[in-house]
């Protein structure tokens, strides 16, 4: 997958900004993730921005994976990552090894728009998908379904 920058611009009138500011509203941005045979979904707020006349949101199209064990935190609580980020490519395959580190594999995903993740760690994990930023990664999605040891699953970013 080639890296690049995506951008959206949101415009409001002065009256709209005034009305929204009275209720102390902010723009919350989440990114969708799509998996085979499922509708796109999101479960993390990626950005929260103040309401202004023009809001520009940009993000990298370079994606990575990480993981957590245990439960997905409730809204408002931080996400405690268990591993180190690994950059992924569409059509690639990656496994979480016994030492809790991601590595690339040659396993075929059969779906070139997706990437495959396999868990070879000794306990169930929840896969975290993120986007690259200048100084690291921003989590954008946590798969709520644990990936059991030995299991593999196709993921995609949207």
Q: Tell me, what's the pLDDT at 17?
A: 93
CB contact at 8 A, 86 and 94: yes
Q: Tell me, what's the pLDDT at 102?
A: 95
Is it the case that residue 108 has pLDDT exceeding 70? no
Q: Tell me, what's the pLDDT at 68?
A: 93
Lowest mean pLDDT among 3-7, 100-104, 123-127: 3-7
Percent of the chain with pLDDT over 70: 90
Beta strands in the chain (DSSP E): 5-11, 26-29, 47-50, 54-60, 63-68, 86-88, 93-96, 102-105, 115-119, 126-133, 136-142, 152-155
Is it the case that residue 2 has pLDDT exceeding 60? no
Rounded-to-integer distance, Cα 94 and Cα 61, Å: 18
Higher pLDDT, 6 or 34: 6
Q: Tell me, what's the pLDDT at 1?
A: 41
Q: Tell me, what's the pLDDT at 139?
A: 92
Neighbours of 105 (CB within 10 A): 16
Is it the case that residue 64 has pLDDT exceeding 90? yes
């Amino acid at each position: 997958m080639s890296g690049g920058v995506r951008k959206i611009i949101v415009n409001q009138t002065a009256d709209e900004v005034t009305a929204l500011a009275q209720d102390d509203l902010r723009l919350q941005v989440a990114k969708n993730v799509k998996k085979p045979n499922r509708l796109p979904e999101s479960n993390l707020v990626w950005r929260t921005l103040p309401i202004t006349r023009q809001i520009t949101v940009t993000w990298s199209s370079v994606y990575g994976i990480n993981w957590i064990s245990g439960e997905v935190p409730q809204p408002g609580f931080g996400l405690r990552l268990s591993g180190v980020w690994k950059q992924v490519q569409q059509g690639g395959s990656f496994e979480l090894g016994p030492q809790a580190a991601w590595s690339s594999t040659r396993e075929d995903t059969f779906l070139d728009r997706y990437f495959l993740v396999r868990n070879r760690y000794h306990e169930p994990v929840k896969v975290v998908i993120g986007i690259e930023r200048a100084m690291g990664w921003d989590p954008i999605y946590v798969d709520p379904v644990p990936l059991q040891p030995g299991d593999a699953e196709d993921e995609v970013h949207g």
